[in-house]
Chains A and B, each alone.
Chain A
Amino acid sequence: MQLAGGQFTSATATVGNDLVTLPSFPAEIRAPQGTLAGVSSFQIHFASRDIATPGDTPNLLVAMNPAALQANVGGLEPGTAIIVNEDAFSKRNLMKAGYEDNPLDDDSLEAFQVTRVPMTTLCQRAAEAVDGASSRDAQKARNLFALGLVCWMYDRPTDGTETWIAQKFGGQPLVRDVNLAALRAGYTFGEATELIGARIEVAPATDIPPGTYRNVNGTQTTSMGLVAASVKAGLPLTLAAYPITPASELLHTLARRRDFGVRTVQAEDEIAAAGIALGASFGGGLGVTATSGPGMDLKAETIGLAAMLELPLVIVDVQRAGPSTGMPTKTEQSDLLLALYGRHGESPVPVVAASTPGNCFDAAFEAVRIALRYRTPVILLTDLFLANSSEPWRIPSAADLPRIDPAFARHDDPDAPFLPYARDEVGARAWAIPGTPGAQHVIGGLEKADRTGTISYDGVNHARMTELRAAKVAGIEVPDVVVDADEGARVLVLGWGSTAGATRAGVRRVRDRGLPVARAHLHHLNPFPANLADVLRRYERVLVPEINSGQLAQLLRARYLVDVISHTRMEGQPLLAGAMEQAILEAMPA
């Protein structure tokens, strides 16, 4: 189903609609088919206008079996169109999905427009035209039949999918031909039958900025952002990671970037992954490690070391629902406090958070910029939703990306000692990499004397070094937070991370009601933008939506003494636009 969803997305992107997707799948590799736990789904929201979220509830649900229907029917609005593969509604399948009676035969689906399509049978008939095809081969192609049907309904071209099938199954002509036959049969079925109501035309989106676009998910953009920063910094990228869902995709993607000099190392554990990345940075490379949830716990010690060494290191945390193993394939924003405070000692670390799949590119680039400019570990927070969700992305021009200067130190005066902890105007220390003549020095986890970097247990020096490290991070130059405010707005919606789409959509709905509201989104969580205090005090109410228990809300209250309103959802799913709208309306002062 994920493949069919991906193909529909590509077709939708190429006709120029704006879109956001929400793939959802079980943690198990081969979850038992036909059961509720085994349902894999792909949601797409597209339109001829700017789209912000994958949509709260679908207008069309395609259910390939009773379990898929059962798992998704609960949230549907009355009047929603449902297409079912009626061949899959066998007694056995109904039982597996927890149905006592066939919902297609009673009135339980009365509120919806249900269309029954014998997809399996039709696939089999289509496959008869292919020499040597078995009914099992035809069975396997039924998702493509559904794809063809939906492509017809929404007037999407299928040539891209046909090319894809031809390429993917080039070595298996039989599978290729059965799949092509199923796809075409689905499309033709839509065209030929009057079962399905009127065709829906969605014109290209017109309110999106000019440029060249492609469809991307957050994993692709994160990896491209890291590669771009590596090119712009002139430092080869080393990514060290240990397999973990959903961050493994970054390892897979970057492992294919040998053409940009990327070295990937599949480490023996999460700790080693952080250590290897730090070792690469120590050598003057760009060291990056990527993980999710539990992996962050294991990396804490190394991040603390990097903070002490004052070496660049980028830690990508593709957040997922925790604690512990939690829900590995469900999203959450619950690592914010961990990113900020999850280490012993006074060890402030800059934190950057991506807001949309496309924005992962900018956030990754920014994380590298900060890490190199300030010689510090930087935690980049994305999440599972951003990693898997896709949207059209305006492709940036490489020439427009700023150069990042690693500014390695040299040491030409043999009579003076090299001072590895002498600082520049932003507090970044002098960074001489191994191989630099005359600048030999040792850095380590022990507290060091100011400027010279030699071991020091002096209390006054420790206080000074603690303050210098803190001041450096606190002083990192980050752009002001931008407020999109209506005249007379009394409520500010302040989000961070992947809630950007839902808050934007919620705000739009409130505005459609003629009510003024303000919206801002944080990409820098440490340090906060300098104007944030000001912005917070400008509004009577500040609503902070998060997919956690209210971690940013807690930070804002503590830091700015502003009694923000926390709106949270912790169901492993992105925020919904409708719920956001409701929350904003409720936050409106009487």
Chain B
Amino acid sequence: MTTTAGLTKADFQSTQETRWCPGCGDYSILAAVQGFMPELGIPPERVVFVTGIGCAGRFSYYMNTYGMHAIHGRAPAVATGLAAARDDLSIWIVSGDGDALSIGGNHLIHALRRNVPIKILLFNNRIYGLTKGQASPTSELGKVTKSTPAGSIEAPVDALSLALGAGATFVARSIDRDKQHLPDVLRAAAEHPGAAFVEILQNCPVFNDGAFDHVADKQQAAEHRIPLVHGRPIIFGTEQEQCVVRAGDGSLRIAAAADVGREAIVVHDAHRHDPSLAFALSRLGDLSRGPVPIGVLRSVPTPAWGEGLVAENRRAHAAAGDAELDALLSAGDTWSVA
């Protein structure tokens, strides 16, 4: 694909040999990212991928952009610093469920609530892969892993609910293998002025194979995906027979379309400033068995963190020379000794 800037997918592919396990969902995501990047019209040297630790952390090496493979959980902090110093870059974070939601939870929360102009891709495979199969913060209750041989006794955290709770202005969910949906969501994230958070359901073929087959698999998709499209009634199912309605107590629930009137079906509004609908959607369904909301839950264009500050700082800095420095150094009461 060629764009107005004349960029192609190849411009974003590095020469490094990719080293993920065969069948890893990361390959599909990498292809989707490399494939959609040219559309942004931003040359590779102005794109930066900051990653944490874990299988997803290797992502930066495979992009022919600038990158930093940082330390566990700290990518949002590093990216925040980069955004504090530069306003001419497209900054992306690639993280995993352990990296973003466990060791780096605090940084994620604050990058989102600050609305730092960065795009955060969370590859959620509900397991620790690189450390070879321990329960992650998104692992389901009862999950048997090396670190939880009797089954996990901890409730999982929902990435989208957490992001919304932190005040994220853009929150979406997509699927590693969906070549159509994923680039669409990435595009929407890239266009968002502030922090964009995208959870990508990703398959780990070695330690948690098939965890998302019910949504990723084309045969089952219609039944298990609740597609969210702004301005459209939320309907799903092989025959479009299911829908989302608001219950008497204000919560959302899934109902048979035949049982409710058309007007009772909730119409998705991603641009609502009030995050309650997005939050209710994030609690809807069942990540383990489906159905699962897919798409942009919330997209409220909000001025990004310190908008205009970098340019202002650069101007102020450029204007400060020896005269200004002398004035600073000799401020206040001074006296001379001959």
Contact = CB atoms under 8 A, between A and B. Distances in A.
Interface residues of A, number: 73
A245 B163 CA distance: 32
Contact of A442 (B60, B79, B88, B110): B60
Nearest to B19: A455
A337 interface: no
Interface stretch (B177-185, B279-287, B294-302, B311-319): B311-319
Interface string B118-149: 00000000000000000000000000000000
A205 B329 CA distance: 22
A279 interface: yes
A439 B312 CA distance: 27
Given A261-B316, A434-B89, A455-B61, A208 B81 contact: no
B200 to A, nearest CB: 21
Given A16-B335, A215-B333, A301-B71, A440 B65 contact: yes
Interface in A198-230: 205, 208-215, 224, 227-228, 230
Interface in A384-433: 395-399, 401
Contacts of A54: none
Contact of B82 (A230, A280, A301): A280
Nearest to A211: B337
Interface string A264-290: 010111011111111111111101000
A444 B70 contact: yes
B330 A212 contact: yes
B318 A446 contact: no
A302 interface: yes
A258 B71 contact: no
Contacts of A440: 14, 44-45, 64-66
Contacts of A262: 313
Contact of B86 (A13, A210, A284, A399): A284
Contacts, number: 225
A455 B61 CA distance: 9
Given A213-B334, A444-B60, A280 B77 contact: no
A267 B69 contact: no
A518 B44 CA distance: 60
Contact of B79 (A213, A227, A279): A279
Nearest to B44: A440
Contacts of B61: 442, 444, 455
B93 to A, nearest CB: 11
B278 interface: no
Contacts of A395: 329-330, 334
A10 to B, nearest CB: 6
Contact of B81 (A16, A275, A397): A275
B150 interface: no
A445 interface: yes
A397 B50 CA distance: 41
B325 A279 contact: no
19 contacts: A14-B335, A209-B337, A210-B337, A261-B312, A269-B106, A275-B80, A276-B77, A277-B81, A279-B77, A279-B85, A283-B89, A398-B325, A398-B326, A435-B46, A438-B45, A442-B49, A442-B66, A444-B51, A444-B68
